[in-house]
């Protein structure tokens, strides 16, 4: 997102004292508003996109319990039933696990996610630590 979008959202927050999706849509409704083009205003198209978004969410949140061995003991772990492979289709986990190339791809994605989370929360911790120190002074 651009700084312009951030500034527009900040303006909505300052004007209304809050920032919610309802507020953003209301403000962006007039054709001349700079955020107007960021939305799908054709109701039929928007409804289809919304249903596709709901379907995507449904696929992502569906889980399967799998038993794995950790430290020599069986442990039951919750996994996504249909991982997304290389940004393409969703595939049943058992199909992914039967293909070494897809298994490697999924493992690499997991490693990348862990690295990103570490970086993100390290930066968050630094920011909040500074804020806490400043507020205590």
Tens of pLDDT, residues 82-126: 999 877 799 999 999 999 999 999 999 999 999 999 999 888 888
Q: Is residue 20 part of a domain?
A: no
Q: Is residue 137 part of a domain?
A: yes
Residue 30 has pLDDT above 90, yes or no: yes
Q: Is residue 19 part of a domain?
A: no
Q: How far apart are CA 113 and CA 121, in angstroms?
A: 12
> Whole domain around residue 135: which residue ranges?
89-137
Q: How far apart are CA 18 and CA 11, in angstroms?
A: 10
- Predicted local distance difference test score (pLDDT) of residue 124: 85
* Number of structural domains found in the chain: 1
Q: How far apart are CA 36 and CA 5, in angstroms?
A: 11
pTM of the full predicted structure?
0.70
Q: Is residue 105 part of a domain?
A: yes
- Predicted local distance difference test score (pLDDT) of residue 1: 61
- Predicted local distance difference test score (pLDDT) of residue 102: 92
Q: For residue range 57-82, what is the model confidence (pLDDT) as tens digits?
A: 999 999 999 999 999 999 999 999 99
- Predicted local distance difference test score (pLDDT) of residue 132: 76
Contact 82/59 with Cβ under 8 angstroms? yes
Q: Is residue 18 part of a domain?
A: no
Q: Is residue 136 part of a domain?
A: yes
């Amino acid at each position: 997102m651009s700084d312009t979008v951030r500034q527009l959202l900040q303006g909505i927050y300052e004007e209304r004292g809050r920032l919610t999706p309802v507020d953003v849509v209301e403000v962006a409704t007039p054709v001349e508003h700079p955020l107007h083009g960021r939305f799908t205003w054709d109701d039929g198209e928007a409804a289809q996109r919304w249903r596709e978004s709901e379907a995507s969410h449904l696929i992502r949140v569906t889980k399967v319990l799998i038993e794995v061995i950790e430290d020599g003991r069986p442990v039951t772990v919750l996994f996504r039933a249909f991982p997304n492979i290389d940004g393409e289709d969703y595939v049943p986990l058992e199909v992914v696990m039967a293909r070494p190339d897809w298994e490697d791809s999924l493992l690499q994605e997991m490693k990348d996610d862990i690295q990103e989370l570490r970086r993100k929360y390290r930066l968050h911790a630094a920011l909040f630590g500074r804020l806490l120190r400043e507020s205590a002074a």
